[in-house]
Structure 1
Amino acid sequence: MELIFLGTSSGTPTKSRNVSGLALRRAGARAWCLIDCGEGTQHRLLHTRLSPMQLDTLLITHVHGDHCYGLPGLLASAALAGRTAPLRIIAPAPIAAFIECVARLSDLRLDFPIDFVPVESLQAPLAVQDFTLEAVALSHRVPSYAYVFTETRVEAKLDVTRLTAEGIPAGPLWGRLHRGEELEFEGRRLRGQDYRLPERAPRKVIIAGDNDSPALLAEAARGACLLVHEATYTREVAERLGPAPQHSDAERVARFAEQAGLPNLILTHFSPRYQDGAGSPHIDEIAAEARAHYGGRLVLARDLDHYRLSRQGELETAAPRRAGRQP
């Protein structure tokens, strides 16, 4: 599984960070999913090899502008590029009205169908590319959601013990059963699926929208390999601002990830007040606070960072695949 961060700032962009956007796909696949689409997301895409033409599903966590204002522009660019394939959009119901309003007022013509799925209507897991998708309601000033992706294509191995016990000889028959075929053997009908065992548990990734209560993800976190969650502030700043913003601080998220036993944690959506270069407060303050309360693999995302989640569920930095020079 691959994750490419297209924006990691909250509220407004900075010189080094755009507002929210994250690409997810199965490693090496052309089709991909986009979670959130803040203003300027399509410009960030120009620095990757991701194409709006191969975008399969676009998901919005909530209606705040730093998570959705880039949506009309991305749709318009896809139309101008000649896209005709349907695009599925999963988002809070008001996003449909937002798209319709912008299209009407700006004379935007989309020559491809949009399959809009209100996230509020998701009552059962939904198939999305190589994953099943579930949504979890969060706590924010407006309805906000986390998207839980669980892979569906897991490598299988043969149940050698059963094959041997049933007297099925090794060789071409085993190969056909491993491929999932059905075949006749000594008057019996053998089904490949009956002789295949999963090599590992399916990987599960949680990508959360804005949320001041990480504990709402406790059930979803069971068996998850990775949580991507906002850490807009340090605890000191969050306490000074009070509860009104309804954002999480680094300590709160880190404590939850530690208690939930999550092996990998990526923090994102940082307040523009935190500096990447010289200056104070510095982004390292968020990192230090999180590390004090979490012992797993911790990453603070940067724009255009590219990560892979190995088959064993280990988070790895991937070589960047960019179409041009990093801005």
Structure 2
Amino acid sequence: MLQFTFLGTSSGVPTLTRNVSGLAIQHNNSKEWILIDAGEGTQHRIQQAKLSLQNLKAICITHVHGDHCYGLVGLLASAGMGARKEPLIVIAPKEIQQWFEVTCQLTDLYLPYSVEFIDVGTLTHAVQVNDEIQISTIALHHRVASYAFAIEATQQHKKLNLELLNTLQIPKGKLWGDLQQGKSVEWNDQVVDSKSVINITTLHIKAIVSGDNDQPELLKAACENVHVLIHESTYNQATLEKVGAAPMHSSAKMVAEFAQSVSLPNLILTHFSPRYHHENGMAELKQEAQQFYHGQLFMANDFDCYELNVNGELSQIHFAKPKEK
């Protein structure tokens, strides 16, 4: 039902193997997609992932730190140069809108489409992005105001009522196919409305994508019935204790303990400090998380793609292992 494509998985600065934060989310039923964070260089990653800025429906910025937003204005400008006409939703801290407006003034930037800014700090209701996806927010704890985005997706499953079709003695074949496609058919001198022979079930899945946060427990209430949590894991616990509380980030241990405490079925860790951008470093972070979390764990790489199906089952559908130094 939902696909997650990681466009950047590094914290702070890009490296040779990882760009800074960016995550594309797409519903299987639509070409439209949403972007969570837009660090510097995100638009290059979008091109490499073969995503279209014409189909971008909404951008969510978790907080104002540059590794999560410095690529936003360039991305918006490129969409304009690509002749985009459709309006775009941007859910972000109010400072992002201020920065964008000043940049437009100082750099003679004109967009041929409208941008609807929604202040994430005052958002009290879910934003319906399209027929399939709605977005809500959860306040986190960081050096600046930071937020998580809860992505809720729905999909209607239509199934013919075989018992009723047999009772009506409608033969299998073209008539069944037409009814499945929502068309009315004629049978035995009567019109059979497709709605009368189709059972519709609405399926729901939910994912949470967290911004920078040193208190994972703030997500406890929101994690009820969540199928996957995507959360920063900047350090291991030993490094976090060494650097102290000032950076206000999470360790692999912290996130893993939280995920286990709320029985999350799937956990994807991302936003890794450059000090871990090698095989041994990533293995160290993963091993620490596995000590405390016993669900399905993934360590995200740039261009990794995951799919969350209608049953809430998460699988990796593309693996892009970075080249190690």
Residue 191 of structure 1 deviates from its aligned partner by 9.7
- 1:19 is aligned to 20
- 1:65 is aligned to 66
Aligned equivalents of 2:22 and 2:211: distance in 1?
A: 11
Residue 247 of structure 1 deviates from its aligned partner by 0.6
Shift of the 168–55 alpha-carbon distance from structure 1 to 2, 3 Å rule, reads: same
Aligned length: 315
Aligned equivalents of 2:261 and 2:183: distance in 1?
A: 43
Corresponding residue to 2:278 among 254, 276, 279: 276
2:180–2:194 CA contact under 8 A, matched in 1: no
Instruction: Tell me the TM-score normalised to structure 1 length.
Output: 0.86
Corresponding residue to 2:235 among 193, 210, 233: 233
Pairing of 1:1-327 with structure 2 (within 5 A): 1-27=2-28, 29-129=30-130, 130-157=132-159, 192=195, 196-198=199-201, 201-277=203-279, 282-319=281-318
Residue 70 of structure 1 deviates from its aligned partner by 0.3
Residue 263 of structure 1 deviates from its aligned partner by 1.0
2:203–2:310 CA contact under 8 A, matched in 1: no
- 1:324 is aligned to none
2:210–2:230 CA contact under 8 A, matched in 1: yes
Deviations 1:215-266 (A, max 9, x none): 1111111111110000001011111111111111101101111111111110
1:131–1:150 CA contact under 8 A, matched in 2: yes
Shift of the 28–317 alpha-carbon distance from structure 1 to 2, 3 Å rule, reads: farther
**Aligned-partner SS, 1:155:** strand
User: Letter of the aligned partner of 2:123 in structure 1?
Assistant: L
- 1:325 is aligned to none
Residue 276 of structure 1 deviates from its aligned partner by 1.7
Aligned equivalents of 2:231 and 2:25: distance in 1?
A: 15
User: Letter of the aligned partner of 2:43 in structure 1?
Assistant: Q
- Give me the CA root mean square deviation: 2.8
Identity across matched positions, percent = 43
**Aligned-partner SS, 2:151:** strand
Aligned equivalents of 1:15 and 1:220: distance in 2?
A: 35
2:135–2:149 CA contact under 8 A, matched in 1: yes
1:159–1:197 CA contact under 8 A, matched in 2: no
User: Letter of the aligned partner of 1:196 in structure 2?
Assistant: N
Shift of the 180–251 alpha-carbon distance from structure 1 to 2, 3 Å rule, reads: farther
User: Letter of the aligned partner of 1:142 in structure 2?
Assistant: V
- 2:189 is aligned to none
Aligned equivalents of 1:81 and 1:88: distance in 2?
A: 17
Aligned equivalents of 2:296 and 2:235: distance in 1?
A: 20
Shift of the 192–19 alpha-carbon distance from structure 1 to 2, 3 Å rule, reads: same
Aligned equivalents of 1:243 and 1:177: distance in 2?
A: 61
Greater percentage in helix: 2
Residue 121 of structure 1 deviates from its aligned partner by 2.8
Residue 105 of structure 1 deviates from its aligned partner by 1.2
Aligned equivalents of 1:125 and 1:181: distance in 2?
A: 34
1:206–1:227 CA contact under 8 A, matched in 2: yes
User: Letter of the aligned partner of 1:137 in structure 2?
Assistant: A
User: Letter of the aligned partner of 1:113 in structure 2?
Assistant: S
- 1:186 is aligned to none
2:227–2:265 CA contact under 8 A, matched in 1: yes
Shift of the 276–53 alpha-carbon distance from structure 1 to 2, 3 Å rule, reads: same
1:18–1:303 CA contact under 8 A, matched in 2: yes
User: Letter of the aligned partner of 1:265 in structure 2?
Assistant: L
1:135–1:145 CA contact under 8 A, matched in 2: yes
Aligned equivalents of 1:228 and 1:4: distance in 2?
A: 12
User: Letter of the aligned partner of 2:305 in structure 1?
Assistant: H
Aligned equivalents of 1:96 and 1:261: distance in 2?
A: 37
Aligned equivalents of 2:293 and 2:146: distance in 1?
A: 25
Aligned equivalents of 2:301 and 2:117: distance in 1?
A: 30
2:252–2:289 CA contact under 8 A, matched in 1: yes
Structure 2: stretches of 5+ with no match in the other structure:
186-191, 321-325
1:178–1:196 CA contact under 8 A, matched in 2: no
Instruction: Tell me the TM-score normalised to structure 2 length.
Output: 0.87
**Aligned-partner SS, 1:273:** helix
